Amino acid sequence: MNTKRLTLLLAAGSTAAIGGAAFSLRTVDKSTSSLFATANTGVAYAQAPATASPEAIKLKANEIGRIPIIMYHSVDEKGGKYDKRGLNIPGTAFRKHLDMMVKAGWYPMNARDIYIPEKLQAVPAGMTPVVLTFDDARGSQFWMKPDGSIAPNCILGILESYHKKYGEKWPRAGTFFALPKSSYNPTPFWQAGLEAKKCQWLVANGYELSNHSFAHKNMAPMNAAQVREAVWGCVRDIRKLAPNATMDTFCVPYGSYPKDKSTWGVILNDPQGQYKNLVAFKAWGDESFAPGDKRFNPKEVDRIGVDPGYFEHVFARLEKAGKLYVSDGNPSTMTVPKSWQDFVSPNRPGKLPVVFYGQAATPKAKAKTKPATAAKKKTAATVAKTMKHP
């Protein structure tokens, strides 16, 4: 366990068990209220330390920066063809992606952990959290050999090899959005009789097993009752295979949300109290907002697809733009560049004190023009200044 993570867990009083048991969340008590000063924006700023640490500044820490969440389906699927949408990609391409992430200092996490303050704040200094998601519980994701060992070229086998090679720099992590067996779906991970063993292995070894609906039906025409059954049916049946599965993140089939937006709340919260999801994920999109960014919406979280060449394109853009989440290495504060201060959420998880560094956003320069009439002068004078924002 890295030093930051140990310090955080001890300080927070969190409890954890192998296999994905929930962490207890620490709330700020009255004794810590002196650490906060609330500005007009409603954002809690740190009084001490007043500025970011030299290390955080050197690392260019940004703890409301973008978080890449990557969407995979199959790798070298038997009998399948490589396709233009990235639903089945070569194993060499998957390894290439992982190599790029390792070299760039990306740090794999389970999807749910991004939205638990203690977990996100435990990312080592200078590293960027990344979430690898795998839809449908397909055979190429987790395949067992006759002797019970994991096939080295399935997705899980590849992930395990990277953990073995890089250790704490590449911890065991990955979110498998499962579909239970039904008249619509095959057995999870496609080896009948091994589904319970596989699901329990994932949970016991630090991976996340979560919800991709009961039957992978398009949710667009669904009413509230149908939405509930789609979400609850998966939780119910997957927990029969792996009782300790957290099952508290949801992946919308096809990324197709119900047309009736009043039903979206049912995706996150069951009116009957049987399930509760931290977030709902889309299919194909952009890098996601961090939970500390006020633009973050738990009902619609983007994922990046892997159609041929697209991940490489997005990766290059993100690395060049300097907009990624970068940990400051301090579990007690949230470090943010001043140019991002307008995006700090007053409702961010954990309500950690925020420290800023650098220069604030500056007004965008406007070209000087000579208005032809007095009326035009008056119009120009009333134009509000726009700011450069990330």
Q: Quote the percentage of the chain above a pLDDT of 90.
A: 73
Per-residue pLDDT tens digits for 179-215: 999 988 999 999 999 999 999 999 999 999 999 999 9
Quote the pLDDT of residue 363.
Answer: 60
- Does residue 94 belong to any structural domain of this protein? yes
Is 295 a domain residue?
Answer: yes
Specify the pLDDT at position 355.
Answer: 95
Q: Is residue 303 part of a domain?
A: yes
Mean pLDDT along residues 76-90: 86
DSSP 24: P
Residue 9 has pLDDT above 80, yes or no: no
Q: State residue 3's pLDDT score.
A: 45
Asked whether residue 246 is domain-assigned, the answer is: yes
Tell me the whole-structure pTM to 2 decimals. 0.82
Q: Is residue 308 part of a domain?
A: yes
How many Å apart are CA 108 and CA 94, to the nearest integer?
Answer: 14
Q: Does residue 101 lie in a domain region? A: yes
Q: What is the mean pLDDT of residues 144-173?
A: 98
Could you tell me the CATH number of the domain that includes residue 138? 3.20.20.370
Lowest mean pLDDT among 78-92, 294-308, 329-343, 365-379: 365-379
Distance, CA of 238 to CA of 245 (rounded, Å)? 8
Structural tokens at position 338: 């001043």
Q: Is there a domain that residue 110 lies in?
A: yes
Name the residue range of residue 261's domain: 3-32+68-321
Number of domains, the chain: 1
Given a cut of 80, whether residue 309 has pLDDT beyond it is yes
Q: How far, in Å, CA of 142 to CA of 161, rounded?
A: 13
Q: What is the pLDDT of residues 336-366, one digit of tens each?
A: 999 999 999 998 888 889 999 998 876 655 5
Place of tokens 């999801």: 277
Is 378 contained in some domain? no
Instruction: Give the per-residue pLDDT at 367.
Output: 55
